[in-house]
Amino acid sequence: MTPHASAKERPGKLPPVGDDDEKPLDPAAERVRRRLVRLLIVSFGTMVLGFVAVFGAIVYKLGLFGSPPGTGPSIAEVRLPVGSTVTSAALDGDNILLRISEATRGDGQEGRGEELLVLDAASGEILHRVKLLPGD
């Protein structure tokens, strides 16, 4: 085995790696090398996307993005007629049912009777109004 030319110049040392004396690959081997590099890039990209998806799911499940809007307490105002009182209330999902009765007015006239109001719990908007009238 003949020593490399640069080994003669530097006794006791190995020839440097990556010199210009490497022969280029033949075209078939170069195509195979390019396919393998492309496969490596696609595989690495797929793995990175998988890790991002897993960590995103973990963060989502832990609730680190903050609470969704509308989950906090809400304040709604409902204006009742003067002199009326709420005699009962019931909650059904996003709706509130109020039973309102109006007592005798200060001028001695009788009030309007009773009403049922169905309200939107979030906004306080009146969805339905039912007047309860005395029967004959």
* Model pLDDT, residue 25: 80
* Model pLDDT, residue 114: 87
pTM across the whole model: 0.43
Domain boundaries, the chain: 26-68, 84-132
Between residues 133 and 95, the one the model is more confident about: 95
132 within 8 A of 116, measured Cβ to Cβ: yes
pLDDT in tens, 54-84: 999 998 888 777 656 556 667 778 888 788 8
Between residues 50 and 75, the one the model is more confident about: 50
